[in-house]
């Protein structure tokens, strides 16, 4: 069993400590105390932030408080986060939001897709964003046998998306066993009302997913394989593997700069610390920027790294107009001016 345990520790990068990389103009965002696991920014600078995730094996600072979606307008001089109201009829009590994705329709309607884990299940909730009164109207709950342990989604239509299942098993003990045994049973699913199918498989734990600005490529982070996969998207929504970029960190969510095509990712330098609830040794934070991922030698830059004293367990980093938002699985969120 020693070699299996060693394999597991490697998957979690258990020995890595962080060399800090400082950014001068950063402050913690007021009001976000229980996570900012995923962030998606509209082209107009409105940022949606998913908060309050309870995930098996990971801590939560407010285990009994329902999750919420925050909104920030990054055009403001000093942007503040405010909680979005959600329309009546939606079960807020069991709201446990994870990955999110926005989609703007031809008529400028903004749809927000939210991965939700009510009662340890996996659903994808579809909302319509009402900008006039900063609210979300719940349109439908999507459940499917292929959407078993959804981590993240990327919307490709008003009711269609790609989703990552980060584990094959949804039971925590089996999930841990799956990692321990090094099973590559995690996958990516395409969902539309007409067709649902597996489009990529063989991941240790497919996590963040996003799409290139030209909509030709899908990017998938395999958090336990420390890499990002580039897949070509075809007319029938199938995906074929183009390349894999290896990293020395656990890449969580992926964000794509619409102007440059750069990929920004929030990372866990040492995944082991996420599962230890040790206040003296908190999970660190790391933000990478990946330029020219299709090139022979993409440029990978560590933009920010910190040992967890400011920000614990970074899961996402995304940019808009010289501003950087950094989110975490269960902790605070950071706003930086680059």
207 assigned to a ligand binding site: yes
Spell out where 169-298 has E strands.
186-191, 196-203, 206-211, 217-222, 227-233, 239-246, 250-256, 263-268, 285-291
Q: Is 134 annotated as a binding residue?
A: no
- Distance (Å, whole) CA 125 – CA 96: 11
Kindly write down the DSSP assignment for every residue of 57-76, as one continuous string: TS--S-TTSPPEEEEEETTS
Q: Is 44 annotated as a binding residue?
A: no
Q: What angle do CA 320, 325, 330 make, to 5 degrees?
A: 150
Q: Identify the active-site residue in 27, 98, 138, 167.
A: 98
CA distances to 8, 176, 183, 232 from 180, in Å: 5, 6, 8, 30
Q: For residues 330 and 328, what is the distance between their CA atoms, to the nearest angstrom?
A: 6
Q: Is 151 annotated as a binding residue?
A: yes
Is 98 among the catalytic positions?
Answer: yes
Q: Is 4 annotated as a binding residue?
A: no
296 annotated as belonging to a binding site for a ligand:
no
281 annotated binding-site participant: no
**Residue 187 marked in a binding site:** no
Task: Identify whether the C-beta of residue 125 lies closer than 8 Å to the C-beta of residue 138.
Answer: yes
Q: Which residues are catalytic?
A: 98
Positions at the binding site: 37-38, 100, 151-152, 207, 252-253
Feature table: binding site for Ca(2+):
37-38, 100, 151-152, 207, 252-253
């Amino acid at each position: 069993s020693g070699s299996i345990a060693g394999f597991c520790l490697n998957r979690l990068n258990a020995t890595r400590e962080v060399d800090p990389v400082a950014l001068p103009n950063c402050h913690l965002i007021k009001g976000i105390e229980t996570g900012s696991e995923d962030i998606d920014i509209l082209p107009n600078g409105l940022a949606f932030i998913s908060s309050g995730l309870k995930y098996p094996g990971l801590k939560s600072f407010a285990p009994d408080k329902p999750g919420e979606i925050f909104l920030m307008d990054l055009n403001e001089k000093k942007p503040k986060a405010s909680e979005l109201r959600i329309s009546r009829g939606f079960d807020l009590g069991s709201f446990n939001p994870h990955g999110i994705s926005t989609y703007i329709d031809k008529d400028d309607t903004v749809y927000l897709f939210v991965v939700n884990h009510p009662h340890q299940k996996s659903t994808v909730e579809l909302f319509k964003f009402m900008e006039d009164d900063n609210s979300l109207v719940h349109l439908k709950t999507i459940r499917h046998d292929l959407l078993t342990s959804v981590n993240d989604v990327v919307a490709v239509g008003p009711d269609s998306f790609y989703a990552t299942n980060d584990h094959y098993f949804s039971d925590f003990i089996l999930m841990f066993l799956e990692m321990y045994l090094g099973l590559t049973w995690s996958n990516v699913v395409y969902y539309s009302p007409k067709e649902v199918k597996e489009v990529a498989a063989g991941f240790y734990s497919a996590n963040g997913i996003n799409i290139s600005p030209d909509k030709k490529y899908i990017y998938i982070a395999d958090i336990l394989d420390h890499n990002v996969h580039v897949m070509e998207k075809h007319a029938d929504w199938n995906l074929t593997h183009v390349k894999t970029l290896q990293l020395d960190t656990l890449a969580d969510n992926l964000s794509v700069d619409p102007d440059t095509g750069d990929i920004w990712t929030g990372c866990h330098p040492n995944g082991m610390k996420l599962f230890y609830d040790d206040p003296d040794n908190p999970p660190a934070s790391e933000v990478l920027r990946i330029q020219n991922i299709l090139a022979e030698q993409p440029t990978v830059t560590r933009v920010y790294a910190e040992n967890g004293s400011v920000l614990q367990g970074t899961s996402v980093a995304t940019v808009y107009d010289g501003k950087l938002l950094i989110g975490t699985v269960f902790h605070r969120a950071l706003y930086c001016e680059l």
